[in-house]
Structure formats: structure tokens, C-alpha cells
Amino acid sequence: MFREKMISVILPVYNVEQYLEDCLNSLLAQTFKDFELIAVNDGSTDNSLSILSEYKSKFKYYELISHENRGLSEARNSGLKHVDGKYIYFLDSDDYLLPNTFENLVKMAEEHSLDLIKFDANPFSEIQGNFKMSNYDTSNVLNENTLYSKDEYLKAVKRRFMPPVWLYFIKSSIIMDNKLTFKKGILHEDELFTVQLLKHCNRIMYDSNKYFQRRYRANSIMTKSLGKNNKSYDSKVEIINLFSDLQRLERSKSEYYKFLQSRKNVLYTSLLFYKFNTKSELIKLLVRNSNSNLDLKTFIREFRKRILV
């Protein structure tokens, strides 16, 4: 008999045999048990698939999907096709969660009929030497015990927005009803997906707990030198252009339009720091988007922030 689970956890897995058991054990340790695990083996060539198979009997609700390597976006999209939960959570397989994560998030979401909960993360590094980790604390811009409308939330986070999808607990119908998916073939897919998601969320709250334990490791895609990565650069350009397309569907004074502009400015600024010679392309990009009112304040603020790192 069909029974909706409370949470669907989508877990893409690619060559993380060293970290996968920590991740899976953190799910088994959850104090809230009414969730399904949808694990997507994205063509792993190490022992990851064997580990996923070994753990299948330990979960009450578990679906294991395995296909050739297609990248993170398509692995998450594969998981979305099998969702049976009222809420969706996207977990990365080299990180892990605190035991009370789902219990607290479900309680908050149910009590306040929420579309979205934003929470924080605790970063830790396995990389030797001087390495700067991101700060995932948003308590300086968001308040707990406050119900935000979409516009209120966008105003609050415009200067300190965090795109990683693993910082959000999402009502499934928001994704399904609006046919949201991760764009194939790009890096920084969360930058696009989370911004698209926010357009449809009208009841949002913040939990300052650092439920997500964010691991920095030397061979991770996002800890490699993206400043030398052509695909990273091209992906950001594509996202900027997609944000411009979304802006054309908005009133120029809407909060979502302004939010899209602020995200474009952050991406514009980051492109200046790529090591290869793309400055002429950047100028062309700026000219093409000149009709979207480039916010120089945001541009300068982001530039200064990167210079001072």
C-alpha cells in the first residue's frame, strides 16, 4: 500500500569510498526515522557501489540507482524521479549530518507549514597547509523564530546568500509542481538551482544550527583551483545569461529581479579572478548585459572582498 514518507534524501555518489560510510552512518543515526534514502551511484570506479549495496539492508526505505557517470546534476535529477517524500533533502556523500537534523527540521516545517528552511554548516578540512574555508553562518542576516515571505527573505540574504543546496530543507511540491531540475553539464549548478527554487518559496524560516558537516578534501571538484578551470568560467557565464533570461520575465522593481541582479554581479566579479586571459570576453559579457542595470555597489563590494582574502 502506498505511503508517503516524510523525507526523501537524495544522495549522489561518485568515488567517495573513503567517506561514504561516515555519511551513511549519519543517516542511520538520525533520531527521526521516517525518511527514504535514494542513493544514486554515478558511475563510481572505486568501492562506493559495494558499500551502497552493503548498507541497503540497514535502511527501512532505500532505493539504489546505478548508471554510468553523468555528473552531479544528472545524478540528482535521477533521484528526483523517485521521490516519495513530503520534503526533499539533498545530501553530499563525502559530508554528514548531526543526529537531530531531520527531527528538528520536520518539526519546524510541519508547525509552520513551510516551503523552505535554511540552516547552517560546520566546515572542517583534511587539506594540509594554509587553506581558507567558507563561513556558512548566516545568523548575522537571518533571524530565528521569524517567518519570512519570499520578498522579505530575498532582501535579507541579498548581501550574504549561500547557494549550496545541502543548506536547505525543501517542501517536495515546490520542486515537483514547478518542474525544477539541475542543469546538466555545468559546474556551480546550485547557484542556478537554489535561485530558481527561491522564486517559488513563500514561507521560509531559518534554523541557526550547524547540522551539515562540510568536509574540505584535496581531490574534491570544488576545492581544486577553479580559477584555472575553463568549465567553471563557462558555467558561470551560462548562469549569468540564464539569470538575464529570468529577469526578462520579472518586473524590474520586483525583489526577485533585484536578487537576480545581485547574483549576476557576484558572478561577474568572480570572473575577474580567473587566471587565463578572458578579460575581453568578460567585457563583451558586460556589454551584452548592460541593459540589466549593473549594480556597481555590489560589484565593488564583491571585488574588495576577494582582494582582501
What is the predicted pLDDT for the residue at 250? 94
Distance of alpha carbon 238 from alpha carbon 283, whole angstroms: 15
Tell me the pTM. 0.91
What is the predicted pLDDT for the residue at 227? 59
Q: Which domains does the chain have, with CATH numbers?
A: 5-223 (3.90.550.10), 226-307 (no CATH)
What is the predicted pLDDT for the residue at 29? 98
What is the predicted pLDDT for the residue at 142? 98
What is the predicted pLDDT for the residue at 213? 97
Contacts of 236 (CB under 8 A, 6+ apart): 188, 191, 267, 270, 271
Is 43 in a helix, a strand, or coil?
A: coil
Does residue 104 contact residue 157 with C-beta atoms inside 8 Å?
Answer: no
Intervals of the chain under pLDDT 50: 1-2, 223, 308-309
Does residue 217 contact residue 93 with C-beta atoms inside 8 Å?
Answer: no
